[in-house]
Amino acid sequence: MIDLTTFTVLMEDNRHKTITIDPVFIGLPEVRQFTGVYRILETDMTGNELGELAFHLEDSSQWEFTGDYFSDAEQEQIVEFIRQKEPFDSFTFAEKINNVEHHFRVTDNEGHFGIEQDGIFIAVIEQFEEWKQTEGKPLGDDLFNKIVSKIEERRD
């Protein structure tokens, strides 16, 4: 997920339109969960909403754009900008810990796997001869093994 940012779209009539790209979160008790949706707003005092861009969480190569302000080519520029800023080689899964469901995102950054829990970075794991956690507060054995299992399933 990229943070709140701006981007300038080259419109079909050759003018430039600067927009604000705002990630949408679900507020859960004590955490925020990214939804895979970005609101597209005017970057001016009005902040009018121009549309929403939603990436499929299980297959980020697929996306949907709502709103009729931008042409297909203009939408593609916005999608490409976000893809350049965000590593989309990631996947999500849910896991119960102490009877509370948590949402995890695992992002592959050239063999370093960043782990987010409920939208918050918690760890990095890497495979040397064996899997090791190299950053973050130590993960419990069960969660660590679950994450490694999920990574290995996706490699097959």
129: CB partners within 8 A, 6+ apart: none
**Domain ranges in the chain?**
5-85, 90-155
In a 13 Å sphere around the CA of 38, the CA atoms on its Cβ side amount to 26
- pLDDT confidence tier of residue 34, bands split at 50, 70 and 90: confident
Question: How high does pLDDT run on average in the chain?
Answer: 85
Give the pLDDT score at 88.
55
How confident is the model over 39-65, as a mean pLDDT? 84
Q: What is the DSSP string of 54-108?
A: EE-SS-TT-EEEE-SSS-HHHHHHHHHHHHHHS---EEEEEEEETTEEEEEEEEE
- pLDDT confidence tier of residue 46, bands split at 50, 70 and 90: confident
How confident is the model over 144-151, as a mean pLDDT? 92
- pLDDT confidence tier of residue 139, bands split at 50, 70 and 90: very high
Round to whole Å and give the CA distance between 61 and 149. Answer: 23
How confident is the model over 103-122, as a mean pLDDT? 83
Q: Which pTM does this prediction carry?
A: 0.60
- Specify the 3-state DSSP secondary structure of 15: coil
- pLDDT confidence tier of residue 83, bands split at 50, 70 and 90: confident
Round to whole Å and give the CA distance between 105 and 94. Answer: 9
Round to whole Å and give the CA distance between 141 and 83. Answer: 33
Greater confidence, 59 or 137?
137
- Specify the 3-state DSSP secondary structure of 39: strand
Select from 57, 56, 19, 24 the least CA-distant residue to 40.
Answer: 19
pLDDT at 20 over 90: yes
Give the pLDDT score at 29.
59
How confident is the model over 21-41, as a mean pLDDT? 78
Round to whole Å and give the CA distance between 69 and 77. Answer: 14
Share of the chain above pLDDT 90, in %: 42
CA–centroid distance for 25 within its chain: 11
Select from 42, 63, 43 the least CA-distant residue to 53.
Answer: 63
